[in-house]
Amino acid sequence: MMSSQSAVFLGIDIGTQGVRTLAVNEHGQILATADRTFPLDKQRQEQSPKQWWQMMSLCLLEMVEELKKQVSPTYWRTVSVTSTSGTVLALDQNDQPVSPALMYSDSRPEQEAKMCREAVQQQPPDFGGYRSFNTSSALPEVLWYVRHHPERAERIHRWVHATDYLIGRLSGVWGISDYTNVLKTGYDLLQHQWPDYIQSQLGLPLSWFPKVVAPGTPLGTITPEASAATGLPVHLQVTAGMTDGCASQVASGAIAPGEWNTTIGTTLVIKGVTRERVVDSRGRFYSHKHPQGHWMPGGASNTGSDWVSKDYRHEELGELTEKAEKLTPTSWLAYPLQGKGERFPFVASEAVGFEPDGLRPEERFAARMEGVAYLERLAYETAESLSGEQVKAVYTAGGASQNNTWLQIRSSVLNRLVIRMKNISGAMGAAILSASQSYYSGLQEAVSYLVTVEKQVEPHPQKHEVYQERYHQFLERLREKGYLAGDPK
């Protein structure tokens, strides 16, 4: 057993393809994990909330057995949940599902997304709700279900996000959600209310929508029924959760004003913290509300590292990286967009990728890494221009952050220190969040104790001088093609 000084915090992440659970102590040491996958239908439209609960329970039972070998349940303090943004389901008066879980990746609510955008256009300029609704937003999904299944509408008592549903099953507390999950359901984060247009123009009763609290707010403890199913002790404090993207940002360490996180996976995503809400008329950025009253603006590109697995075999990446490092900075300009259309850090529906012809594999590899770094720099310059606040630190996550050559390229292009943390995952973010208001004084204190730096990369002065010129050449190429118009504002 560990000492009585080692409190333990638990996190649960329900993702698109599976569930992961994690337990961490107050020294930031991960004590136990478990994960399960579940099948994903080809359309990626619906999932079974029953399956979520079953797989989560199996993970927790497995993890609890391992955790008991290390520390007594007496010292297990808190648990929270994160899940995908925009995944929702309807419940009846007994909090039983009326609908399947409608996934964020469901493309069916296209017409309903348009209806939501038209309805919100009539709101005043200082409206604090979401405006850029698309098929991945929760509000269009709710509207789609009601329009296509009117016979079930009378059975609906409330709508919940995936995170809310699992927290409800654990704690028995229903009808509460958090700042991050409600953003794309239309909640006004400035007035702290559900706007009237949801009912008056879209015909959705406001009584269907939850009370909203800050992520990490203590809600209750584990019910006897949930304890029997999961092995979790009944004294364990359950707190409000957050979306998986925000939870990963928390785990990255970027939680104080001026701190930002870049995650490069399939796409490039940046999220940060500002003192004031970022308003972007072009729809590149949107802002979540921070648990401690700040704002969490972010944006997601259609460009990222998807080209790596598409064009290169995993076993050749080490040699390619070694060769590419010797070539940087290169003289080639590459924009490795794989599809058509860009949404961040600029909006251009006709955008297509470009790169010089005739490059050897390592040359193309190096140029593409640089191209993504140029997009990252443009994103941060745009963030500073819109917010009027300085980007003070860049933390990083995602598969691309494991490539040290790419880290050095990015640091030199950005001319900033780039910091990679250990244990960056949604489940880790959920565990940190759970402790933030129940054990620590806030999210910043929780992160200071639970998050550990793995690597720091400083910009290379000579390489930055070259990249400074290349970056502006890259921007000029974007302008020539009509993708980038005017200044970042």
Residue 142 scores a pLDDT above 50: yes
Residue 193 scores a pLDDT above 80: yes
The residues, any chain, with a CB within 8 Å of residue 356's CB and separated by 6 or more, are 332, 333, 334, 367
* pLDDT (average), residues 449-462: 95
Nearest alpha-carbon partner for 486 in 378, 410, 391: 378
Instruction: Fill in the amino acid letter for 265.
Output: G
The residues, any chain, with a CB within 8 Å of residue 124's CB and separated by 6 or more, are none
CATH topology of domain 8-240: Nucleotidyltransferase; domain 5 (3.30.420)
Residue 2 scores a pLDDT above 70: no
* Token pair of 31 as six digits: 């004590």
CA atoms within 13 A on the CB side of 98: 23
Residue 4 scores a pLDDT above 60: no
Query: According to CATH, what is the number of the domain 251-421+459-481?
Result: 3.30.420.40
What is the per-residue pLDDT for 95? Answer: 97
What is the per-residue pLDDT for 488? Answer: 58
What is the per-residue pLDDT for 1? Answer: 41
pLDDT one-digit tens code per residue, 214-272? 999 999 999 999 999 999 999 999 999 999 989 989 999 999 999 999 988 888 999 99
pLDDT band for position 38 (cuts 50, 70, 90) = confident
- What pTM was computed for the model? 0.89
What is the Cα–Cα distance from 257 to 127, expressed in whole angstroms? 23
pLDDT band for position 487 (cuts 50, 70, 90) = low
- 159 and 142 Cβ atoms separated by less than 8 Å: yes
SS (H, E, C) the chain: CCCCCCCEEEEEEECCCEEEEEEEECCCCEEEEEEEECCCCCCCCEECHHHHHHHHHHHHHHHHHHHHCCCCHHHEEEEEEEECCCCEEEECCCCCECCCEECCCCCCCHHHHHHHHHHHCCCCCCCCCCCCCCCCCHHHHHHHHHHHCHHHHCCCCEEEEHHHHHHHHHHCCCCEEEHHHHHHHCCECCCCECCCHHHHCCCCCHHHCCEEECCCCEEEECCHHHHHHHCCCCCCEEECCEEHHHHHHHHHCCCCCCEEEEEECCCEEEEECECCCCCCCCCCCEEEECCCCCEEEEEECCCCCHHHHHHCCHHHHHHHHHHHHHHCCCCCCCEEEEEEEECCCCCEEEEEEECCCCCCHHHHHHHHHHHHHHHHHHHHHHHHHHHCCCCCEEEEECHHHHCHHHHHHHHHHHCCCEEEECCCCHHHHHHHHHHHCCCCCCHHHHHHHHCCEEEEECCCHHHHHHHHHHHHHHHHHHHHCCCCCCCCC
pLDDT one-digit tens code per residue, 456-465? 999 999 999 9
Residue 30 scores a pLDDT above 70: yes
Mean residue pLDDT across the chain: 94
The domain segmentation of the chain, as residue ranges, is 8-240, 251-421+459-481
- 105 and 134 Cβ atoms separated by less than 8 Å: no
pLDDT-above-70 percentage for the chain: 97
- 190 and 277 Cβ atoms separated by less than 8 Å: yes
* Token pair of 29 as six digits: 């040491």
pLDDT one-digit tens code per residue, 163-190? 999 999 999 999 999 999 999 999 999 9
pLDDT one-digit tens code per residue, 63-85? 999 999 999 999 999 999 999 99
What is the per-residue pLDDT for 5? Answer: 60
